[in-house]
Amino acid sequence: MTAILQEIQTRLIQIIGEAVQLLPAILVAAVILALTKWGAKNFQRVVYQGARRLLRSRSLQSLVSQISYVAAWVTGILAAAVIAFPNLGLGDIVALLGLGSVAIGFAFQDIFKNFLAGILLLLQEPFELHDQIIVGDFEGIVEEVAIRSTQIRTYRGEQVLIPNSIVFTSPVTVLTAFSSRRTDLAIGVDYNTPLPMAVQVLKEALDGVEGIMTEPEVEVDVVGFGDSSIDLLVRYWTLPQRLEVRRAQTRVMIALKAACDRADISIPYPIRTVYHYDQREFNELFSRSESQN
């Protein structure tokens, strides 16, 4: 029993001695990690400034900046590990990474998936920063394509973080991909309205309306016979930004209504015809027919 206690005491003293010997190295490693946290941000800022001068694509500038940040952290962690554990060689580090890669892959597969999707988004550039896009149920302005998610700001001033893997595999509508954008506005006229005159009046109503492009020109098409009106469709082009589209639509609707009033063109309300009958008279006719049978 005494021999066992002495063995335990000897082992504890040995462990404490080794810990005391490693303490300075551990403290130095902690300082290196603290410096890495501070230095990674500054290194990222310097790299971003250089990328802005050398690269024209804002997406590539962001990609280089984010990779530099990750590389700074990896370098700092490896340096801290080597100092904290002096006997740890390069071969041991490679072996450790190889053994842990499977476990890390399973544990962080979503993070890696989003990271790789973010890199592909930045390289392929299906949209750029400050573009207006629609992804699923979300619509807004692209603020940043980060390592894990794409950040968009909705028109109501809300921030939405969408995982990069979802953005990469989902249909994305880029509203500002081109220099112009078409709006289709429906309007109905009375059945007594001469259609050639209505088309001409509606087309001329948009001449000089602020925000409406002259090329491509405005189009007015007759598209169908409705329940209470003949349906027309006014097609016009504006700048692609949501604000420009919304403001232009308000001006167009005001101009169309004013033109219809001047030309005495009626925009009818929905009309329904309701027939009333006397239920008692119907019952008498029904009873009479039964008695004859």
Instruction: Read off the pLDDT of residues 152-180 as tens digits, 9 standing for 90 and up.
Output: 999 999 999 999 999 999 999 999 999 99
CB of 149 within 8 A of CB of 161?
Answer: yes
Sheet with 181-189: list strands edge to edge: 181-189, 230-238, 219-225
- The residue-averaged pLDDT of 192-220 equals 93
pLDDT at 8 over 80: no
Distance, CA of 188 to CA of 230 (rounded, Å) = 5
Residue 6 has a pLDDT of 62
- The answer, yes or no, to whether residue 230 has pLDDT greater than 80, is yes
Q: Averaged over 241-263, what is the pLDDT?
A: 94
**pLDDT over 80 (residue 284):** no
Same domain, 101 and 147: no
Residues 221 and 254 placed together within one structural domain of the fold:
yes
- 208 is in which domain, residue-wise? 181-262
> Do 135 and 56 sit in the same domain of this protein?
no
In contact, 156 and 185? CB cutoff 8 Å: no
- Taken as a whole, the chain contains a residue count of 293
Of residues 73 and 201, more confidently modeled: 201
Instruction: Summarize pLDDT for 33-71 with one digit per residue, the tens.
Output: 788 878 888 878 887 788 777 777 676 677 777 778 878
**Whole-angstrom Cα distance, residue 253 to residue 198?**
15
pLDDT at 25: 67
28 and 86: one domain? yes
Q: What is the pLDDT of residues 87-117, one digit of tens each?
A: 665 555 555 555 445 555 555 577 778 888 8
CA atoms within 13 A on the CB side of 9: 6
Structure tokens given for 98: 């190889």
Per-residue pLDDT, averaged over 220-236, amounts to 93
Peptide bond before 268: cis, by omega within 30 degrees of 0? Answer: no
State the SS3 of 11-69: HHHHHHHHHHHHHHHHHHHHHHHHHHHHHHHHHHHHHHHHHHHHCCCHHHHHHHHHHHH
What's the Cα-to-Cα distance from 209 to each of 25, 214, 248, 276, rounded to whole Å? 74, 10, 8, 48
Each residue's pLDDT tens digit, 186-200 = 999 999 999 999 999
Query: Is pLDDT above 90 for 201?
Result: yes
- What pLDDT score does 170 carry? 92
Predicted confidence band of residue 81 (pLDDT cuts 50, 70, 90): confident
Q: What is the pLDDT of residue 36?
A: 80
Cβ pair 114, 147 in contact under 8 A: yes
Amino acid in the structure at residue 212: I
Q: How many domains in the chain?
A: 3
Domain assignment of residue 95, yes or no = yes
Question: Which value, to the nearest 10 degrees, does the dihedral of the CA atoms of residues 189, 194, 195, 199 take?
Answer: -80
Task: Please check whether residues 12 and 99 belong to one and the same domain.
Answer: yes
> Is 187 within a domain?
yes
Looking at residue 206, the DSSP 8-state letter turns out to be T
Residue 89: inside a domain: yes
